[in-house]
Amino acid sequence: MDVVAMHMSDGLVDAPTSLLFGAVAVAGLAIALWRARRELDERTAPMAGLVAAFVFALQMVNFPILPGVSGHVLGGALAAILVGPYTGALCLSIVLIVQALLFADGGLSALGANITNMALIGVATGYAVALALRPLLRGRTRGRGLAVVSFTAALSAVVAASAGFLLEYAIGGASTTSLGTVAAYLLGTHALIGAGEGIVTAATVVTVARARPDLVYLLRTAPRRAAPASASDVTA
């Protein structure tokens, strides 16, 4: 088996498909750039930079999943929970662009598809799941609730991002491998990767929330009764 990560290389999908999802990525990032202004201020802008740097570092580290198979953290749910979905999409996109241009991690022709999968689909799914589970962030055990929310959001985001690749492959896959074979292998593997990412995401978000709950976007935008008033409210 080859090493598996979410980054697509050149040649996995044909040129028209690459162009199509390049256009999707440009449109999505334009919307994110416009809406991110509502999420950022003088207090939270530095946090966005830290999140981008942290995700970049995490994506450079591979961890074993199965014999011959490894993966890395994508960071979509982590970014969305900490700095918001639109800012999170921009953070992931910057990471992907730098990796493609400076480290050849992901093909240039596939950059639009990679941004679509990880920065748009992954971030949006992670944040949507976190919002749906936000009622768990109540009461004296909201710290454990935050861990559950973060884990589930990260797992969902990774699987959704891999499903984005399957859509692109179904539209214009350039390999002779059948879609069913690719789907079974990719989704199964990324479910395991998602579980690993869920642990990393939960540990990171809970750690930040204990120290500075006001810097966690999901908590900052929650209804007053669900948001922790201070770091002491976020208990394990």
**3-state SS track over 46-88:** HHHHHHHHHHHHHHCCCEEEECCEEECCCCHHHHHHHHCHHHH
Residue 224: predicted pLDDT: 55
Q: What is the rounded radius of gyration, in angstroms, for the C-alpha atoms of the chain?
A: 17
Give me the pLDDT at residue 55, please. Answer: 93
Pairing of strands 63-66, 69-71: antiparallel
pTM: 0.87
How far from 189 is each of 122, 204, 219, CA to CA, in Å?
A: 16, 23, 31
From the CB of residue 223, how many other CB atoms can be counted at a distance below 10 Å?
10
10 Å Cβ neighbour count for 39?
20
Res 8: pLDDT: 76
The CB density around residue 197, as the number of other CB atoms within 10 Å, is: 29
- At 203, the amino acid letter reads A
pLDDT tens series, the chain, 236 aa: 344 446 777 778 889 999 999 999 999 999 999 999 888 888 788 999 999 999 999 888 766 655 544 567 899 999 999 999 999 999 999 999 998 898 877 778 889 999 999 999 999 999 999 999 999 988 666 789 999 999 999 999 999 999 998 899 899 887 777 888 888 888 888 888 899 999 999 999 999 999 999 999 999 877 655 444 455 556 54
Q: Map residue 35 onto helix, strand or coil.
A: helix
Q: What is the pLDDT of residue 65?
A: 56
How far is CA 14 from its chain centroid? 25
CA nearest 91: which of 161, 129, 40?
A: 40
| 193 Cβ neighbours under 8 A, 6+ residues apart | 4, 6, 65, 71, 72, 158
Q: What is residue 91's predicted lDDT score, i.e. its pLDDT?
A: 96
Half-sphere exposure of 235 (CA within 13 A, CB side): 6
Integer CA distances (angstroms), 19 to 7, 25, 119, in order: 17, 10, 17
CB-based contact 164:116 (threshold 8 Å) = yes
